[in-house]
């Protein structure tokens, strides 16, 4: 299996702490955050990783090189910001598989990928999403799911348990390649929130640890969470 990891973010909200490195390289317990994402994949069916990179990509390439834990590593270097959807579309040039695993490089959500793959194949879906149930999801948009099918994407809301997008997807390449969207677009806003109205997006809920380093507060929480995970 091939995986695309979206690691091109500048990390504007983390720039007050780390002004000179891309967000996925923010150090957690002495290693880049991206190290933990890749380390999780070494126990999965993934054989090849394409890192979609942009801002200060040299730092990522220098650290990870062309292999990690038995997986080959290649780089899709954005010459300009393409958005999450555009980055995936560009990175597809480095892949051959029909179904591609896509992962956000600033989140750590070590789900059972074998279960996720089986779910995706058994439903016949062309687009599946890993979901996480959170208490008071706060800054996250939420997802409504009935019988494993996404029926609605909601704005950020506080005060109740809800499902959120876990930032891990299995996507049939034909969806991206056949889209008439521009070169740069958002997977979440420009594709997913439109696509589910005409074709099923399937969602599977996982209870695994979920870490997001998008803002300084959550980055600080990641230090303790990773320490607990790796004891």
For residue 20, what is the domain's CATH number?
Answer: 3.90.550.10
Q: Which domain holds residue 166?
A: 2-229
Q: Which residues contact 169 (CB under 8 A, 6 or more apart)?
A: 101, 102, 103, 127, 128, 129, 130
Distances in Å between the Cα of 177 and the Cα atoms of 50, 163, 186, 217 are 17, 29, 15, 37
Rounded Cα distance, 103 and 4, in Å: 6
Which pLDDT belongs to residue 208? 92
Q: In angstroms, rounded to a whole number, what is the distance separating the alpha carbons of residues 15 and 32?
A: 15
Beta strand pairing call for 149-154 and 99-104: unpaired
- Confidence check: pLDDT of 26 > 70: yes
- Per the structure, how many domains does the chain have? 1
Q: Please tell me the distance from the alpha carbon of residue 213 to that of residue 221, in angstroms, as a whole number.
A: 8
- Token look-up 């590593």 returns 73
DSSP 3-state of 18: coil
Query: 81-85, 147-151, 155-159, 204-208 — which is least confidently predicted?
Result: 155-159
- pTM of the predicted structure, to 2 decimals: 0.93
Task: Between 2 and 211, name the one with better pLDDT.
Answer: 2
Question: Would the pLDDT of 223 be above 80?
Answer: no
- Average pLDDT, stretch 70-74? 97
pLDDT at 184: 92
pLDDT for 161: 83
């Amino acid at each position: 299996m091939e995986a695309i990891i979206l690691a091109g973010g500048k990390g504007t909200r983390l720039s007050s702490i780390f002004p000179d490195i891309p967000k996925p390289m923010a150090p957690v317990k002495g290693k880049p955050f991206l190290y933990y994402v890749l380390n999780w994949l070494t126990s999965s069916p993934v054989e090849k990783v394409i890192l979609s990179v942009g801002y200060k990509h040299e730092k990522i390439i220098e650290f990870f090189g062309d292999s990690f834990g038995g997986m080959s590593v290649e780089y899709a270097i954005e010459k300009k910001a393409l958005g999450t959807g555009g980055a995936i579309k560009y990175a597809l040039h480095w892949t051959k598989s029909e179904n591609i695993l896509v992962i956000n490089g600033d989140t750590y959500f070590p789900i059972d990928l074998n279960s996720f793959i089986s779910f995706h194949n058994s439903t016949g879906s062309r687009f599946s999403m890993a979901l996480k149930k959170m208490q008071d999801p706060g800054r996250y948009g939420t997802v409504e799911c009935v019988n494993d099918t996404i029926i609605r994407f909601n704005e950020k809301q506080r005060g109740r348990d809800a499902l959120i997008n876990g930032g891990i997807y299995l996507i049939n390449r034909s969806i991206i390649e056949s889209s008439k969207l521009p070169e740069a677009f958002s997977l979440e806003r420009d594709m997913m929130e439109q696509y589910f109205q005409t074709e099923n997006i399937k969602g599977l809920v996982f209870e695994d640890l979920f870490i997001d380093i998008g803002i300084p507060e959550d980055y600080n929480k990641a230090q303790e969470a990773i320490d607990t995970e790796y004891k």
